[in-house]
């Protein structure tokens, strides 16, 4: 693993395809992880939104510290990622249980996950209680350019997942829509 900084103005591209992600937090005492598939990009800067609420342990750390890291896992660790979404940081050290490595981030206390392809450090701008949406501002992005497996995966919502496949380049049809 070797994270290098990724341009912040392109970091929306890590999330626009809607991969299943790991959200890491630090509550002042402990690191934690949760799995999230309900998220979206809301602006190029980048700002993002994700849906969660007080039924999750991570929620308390997010409300308290107003920051988190969005980590993009690849298909080689899919079983760990799904199992992380099936237990609680309240009684489980998920980094230890799933043998994942936390790394210090640059701008937030929540850790980067070394086992992921990319990470976006975020400050929490707001929480909209109904319907339970965090609004996030990305402040620093990282990518592992040396990672062999680069295919992310996407939840269908019925316990099945789609893995990245062919990329179709349509620059000639929409180049004017992207800011760089």
Query: Applying CB under 6 A, which residues contact ligand FMN?
Result: 20, 32, 34-38, 51-52, 56-58, 82, 85-89, 155
Closer CB to ligand FMN, 50 or 119, in the complex: 50
CA separation for the pair 36, 81 (Å, rounded): 9
Which residue is associated with the tokens 């988190």? 68
Q: Minimum CB separation from ligand FMN for residue 147, in Å?
A: 21
Closer CB to ligand FMN, 81 or 118, in the complex: 81
Q: Minimum CB separation from ligand FMN for residue 80, in Å?
A: 11
Q: What is the DSSP string of 23-75?
A: EEEE-SS-EEEEEE--EEEEETTTEEEEE--TTSHHHHHHHHH-EEEEEE--G
Q: Minimum CB separation from ligand FMN for residue 14, in Å?
A: 17
Closer CB to ligand FMN, 7 or 90, in the complex: 90
Q: Minimum CB separation from ligand FMN for residue 179, in Å?
A: 27
Residue 3, CB-side half-sphere exposure with 13 Å CA sphere:
26
Nearest residue to ligand FMN on Cβ basis: 85
Closer CB to ligand FMN, 6 or 74, in the complex: 74
Closer CB to ligand FMN, 6 or 34, in the complex: 34
Q: Minimum CB separation from ligand FMN for residue 101, in Å?
A: 18
CA separation for the pair 37, 50 (Å, rounded): 8
What is the rounded (10 degree) CA torsion for 57, 63, 69, 70?
70
């Amino acid at each position: 693993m070797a994270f290098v900084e990724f341009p912040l103005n392109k970091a929306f591209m890590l999330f626009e395809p809607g991969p299943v992600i790991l959200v890491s937090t630090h509550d002042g005492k402990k690191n934690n992880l949760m799995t999230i598939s309900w998220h979206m990009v809301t602006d190029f800067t980048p700002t993002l939104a994700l849906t969660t609420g007080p039924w999750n342990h991570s929620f308390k750390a997010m409300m308290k510290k107003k920051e988190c890291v969005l980590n993009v896992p690849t298909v080689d660790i899919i079983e760990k990622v799904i199992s992380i979404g099936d237990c609680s940081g309240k009684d489980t050290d998920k980094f230890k249980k799933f043998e994942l490595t936390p790394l210090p981030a640059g701008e937030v206390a929540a850790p980067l996950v070394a086992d992921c392809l990319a990470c976006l450090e975020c400050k929490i701008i707001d929480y909209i209680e109904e319907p339970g949406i965090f609004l996030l501002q990305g402040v620093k992005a990282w990518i592992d350019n040396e990672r062999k497996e680069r295919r992310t995966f996407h939840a269908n919502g019925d316990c099945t997942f789609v893995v990245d496949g062919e990329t179709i380049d349509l620059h000639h049809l929409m180049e004017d829509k992207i800011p760089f």
